Each structure stands twice: as structure tokens, then as C-alpha cells.
């Protein structure tokens, strides 16, 4: 897989008026990522993200792996919001993982309390923009057949989804990324 590297942070406005910052995940985010996945995602959102029930638990090693994306040529972006009196909270995370057949695999999750406000769209657009710069034109995405939110998000960001595999109730899509003009129109 081509190296897809994000270097810049970007701000977006959510539908409720709050600002989010989208930036590359860093190794020091491992603990905050754990809080995000284990405390801000419902069991169902965790299941949809990891395609299995995690029971609110992610091992330290897995969190360190996700937080260390840049060190292994994967892409990880987090969305954060300002939190009163403490460090900004992670409310969304998107990963592009190198995959066997060379197409990066995309996975995304947004905190339950912040879903429907534009965090997913902002994360996808940021990851698409970084991919375009690296010359990557397609991703793979695995999702439950009934995940209408994910399918809506894919369409909203101008990606073309082609069903390439079905395994039980998990569909795998090849997502053709929009060109820069279509991406601007989707923003």
C-alpha cells in the first residue's frame, strides 16, 4: 500500500455549532482512544466498528497498535472536541490499514453522543483528501449488511461503493474515492 501520511490538523464545524479538530493519531493517544472506544461507544457501535462484540474492552496492545498507526504506514485520524477543564476529548477515529490485496481497509467510529452531527463526514473527507495526495483511489470497507449509517456516509462523501464480498451478514465494499472536485461539492 502506498504510504498515506497526514501531517496537518484541520478544523470543522459540527451541526450543533461546536468545532472539531481532525489530526493524526499519536502514540500518546492510546489511553484517550481507550476511553473513546470503551466509554463513548455503545456495545452496538463497538460491534459495528469491530464486527464483533467487544463487551466494552480493548486490550492495551490493541490501543497501542491503533495509536501507533503512523509508525507502520497506516493512517489514523482522530476528531477531538474541546472539553472544559481537561484535555480535548476524542469523539471520532478513522483508520486506513494496509491490507493483503494492497487496498487499504477503512474503519470508522464516532462517539454515540456525537453521531449525526457531521463528525463521520469530516473524518472521511480528511482521509479521502490525504489518500488523494498519496495517489490512493480506492479503499475496502467491511460492514454489517444493515449498517445504513455507514452506507449513507459513504454516499454522502461522494464514494462509489461496489459490493465485492459477502460473508454471513458482513459485506465488503470496494470504495472508489471521489476526485477533488466531487469531494469539494460533498463538503
Ligand X SMILES: CC(C)(COP(=O)(O)OP(=O)(O)OC[C@H]1O[C@@H](n2cnc3c(N)ncnc32)[C@H](O)[C@@H]1OP(=O)(O)O)[C@@H](O)C(=O)NCCC(=O)NCCS
Given the complex with ligand X, which of 1 and 144 has the nearer CB atom? 144
Per CB under 6 A, 10 contacts ligand X: no
Residue closer to ligand X (CB basis): 106 or 136: 106
- Residues contacting ligand X: total by CB under 6 A: 23
Nearer to ligand X, 7 or 185 (CB): 185
Q: Is 160 one of the binding residues for ligand X (CB under 6 A)?
A: no
**Per-residue x/- marks for ligand X, 30-59, CB under 6 A?**
---------------x--xx----------
Q: Is 143 in the site for ligand X (CB under 6 A)?
A: yes
Q: Please state, in angstroms and as integers, the Cα–Cα distance from residue 49 to each residue in 24, 45, 63, 107, 112, following that order.
A: 19, 6, 14, 7, 12
Grid cell digits, residue 98? 494496509
Q: 98-137: which residues touch ligand X (CB under 6 A)?
A: 107-110, 115-121
Rounded to whole angstroms, the Cα distance separating 88 from 144 reads 31
Interface stretch with ligand X, choices 2-10, 68-76, 126-134, 142-150 (CB under 6 A): 142-150
Q: Which three cell numbers stand for residue 174?
A: 470496494
Give me the least distance between CB of 85 and ligand X, in Å please: 25
Is 148 or 165 the residue whose CB approaches ligand X more closely?
148
Residue whose CB is less far from ligand X, 7 or 52 = 52
Binding residues for ligand X, rule: CB under 6 A, are 45, 48-49, 107-110, 115-121, 141, 143, 147-150, 152-153, 156
Amino acid at each position: 500500500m502506498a504510504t498515506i501520511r497526514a501531517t496537518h490538523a484541520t478544523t470543522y464545524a459540527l451541526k450543533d455549532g461546536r468545532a472539531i479538530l481532525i489530526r493524526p493519531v499519536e502514540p500518546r493517544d492510546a489511553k484517550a482512544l481507550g476511553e473513546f472506544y470503551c466509554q463513548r461507544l455503545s456495545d452496538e457501535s463497538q460491534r459495528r466498528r469491530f464486527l464483533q462484540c467487544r463487551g466494552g474492552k480493548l486490550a492495551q496492545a490493541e490501543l497501542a497498535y491503533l495509536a501507533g498507526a503512523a509508525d507502520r504506514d497506516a493512517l489514523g485520524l482522530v476528531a477531538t472536541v474541546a472539553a472544559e477543564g481537561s484535555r480535548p476529548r476524542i469523539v471520532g477515529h478513522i483508520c486506513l490499514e494496509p491490507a493483503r490485496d494492497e487496498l487499504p481497509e477503512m474503519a470508522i467510529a464516532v462517539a454515540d453522543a456525537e453521531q449525526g452531527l457531521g463528525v463521520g463526514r469530516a473524518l472521511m473527507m480528511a482521509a479521502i483528501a490525504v489518500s488523494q495526495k498519496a495517489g490512493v483511489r480506492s479503499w475496502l470497507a467491511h460492514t454489517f449488511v444493515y449498517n445504513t449509517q455507514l452506507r449513507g456516509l459513504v454516499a454522502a462523501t461522494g464514494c462509489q461503493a461496489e459490493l465485492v464480498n459477502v460473508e454471513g451478514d458482513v459485506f465488503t465494499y470496494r470504495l472508489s474515492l471521489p476526485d477533488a472536485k466531487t469531494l469539494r461539492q460533498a463538503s
